[in-house]
Amino acid sequence: MSRIGIFTNNFRFYHDVIDVAKNWELPYFSIDPSSSVPVDIPVILSTTADPEIDNRQVKENDPVRALRLGLPRLIDQIEFRRIVIGIDPGPKPGVAVICDDVLTEATELPEIMYIEEYILKVLSDYSYGGYSIRIGDGDTPNREKITDILSRNRLSYVVVDESNTTIFRHRPQNNAISAAVIGMARSKDARSPGKGDNFFDDRFVTIRNSI
C-alpha cells in the first residue's frame, strides 16, 4: 500500500495535512530528513518554504490542494487524464469527484451557496487533462440554481438521469452516494454493506482501495 509522505517545518501545515489525510482515511508517514524515504511513499507533501529533500515532493501551502495534487502519484500517475464531478441537486447537494474511474472524494454540502467555491476549488486543485460535470435531473428548482452557478462560471455540464440513484436513498450520506453514482464511478460487484462498513469503498473503486 502506498502512503503519503509529509515533510515540513511548518507546524500548522503538518497538522492540517494530517487532519485531511485522516478525514479521507489515507495512510501517511512523517518524513525525517536524516533518514531515507521509505519505498512505499510515492509523494511527499511540503510547503513552498520547505527545503528540497527529494524529487517526489509536491510543494503547496494549502493542505487540501497539496493532497489533491498528490493523489495521482498514489496510483503511479503524475496527473489524472480526466476528472468527472457528479452532482446530486438538492438543498444540501451531494458532490463527488471521480478521477480516471477512481472515486477520490464525495461529500454533502450544507447549502447550495457552497457549491460554487467547492467546484471551482476542485477544478483548480486537481491536476488533470480534462473535466466533465454531470448533474442529476431531479429537484428541478435546486438543479436550476446549480446550473445557473455553473453557467455563470462558464463551466460546461450535462444533465443526466438520476433514477438509478434511488436505491441508495435513506442511507447516511445519501446525497454524497447519489452524486458518486451520477458521476458514473466504476462500481464493484458489491455485497450489501453491514453495519460499520465503508459504503464507498465497498461499492466503488476509491482512492483508498486503489493504493
- pTM for the structure as a whole: 0.87
CA 184 vs CA 27, 30, 77, 210: distances in Å: 26, 35, 21, 17
pLDDT band at 165 (very low <50, low <70, confident <90, very high): low
The alpha carbon of 16 is separated from its chain's Cα centroid by a whole number of angstroms, namely 16
What stretch of H or E contains 93? Answer: none
Q: How far apart are CA 133 and CA 83, in angstroms?
A: 9
Residue 160's closest CA among 191, 136, 186?
136
Q: What integer is the mean pLDDT of 104-123?
A: 96
Mean pLDDT taken over the chain: 88
pLDDT at 158 > cutoff 60:
yes
Choice between 201 and 102, residue whose per-residue pLDDT is larger: 102
| pLDDT at res. 205 | 84
Identify the weakest region by mean pLDDT among 16-25, 125-134, 161-170, 174-183.
161-170
pLDDT band at 109 (very low <50, low <70, confident <90, very high): very high
Choice between 14 and 170, residue whose per-residue pLDDT is larger: 14
Task: Give all domains of the chain, ordered by start, each with its CATH number.
Answer: 4-74 (no CATH), 80-203 (3.30.420.140)
Q: What integer is the mean pLDDT of 8-25?
A: 96
Q: What integer is the mean pLDDT of 44-63?
A: 96
Q: How far apart are CA 142 and CA 140, in angstroms?
A: 6
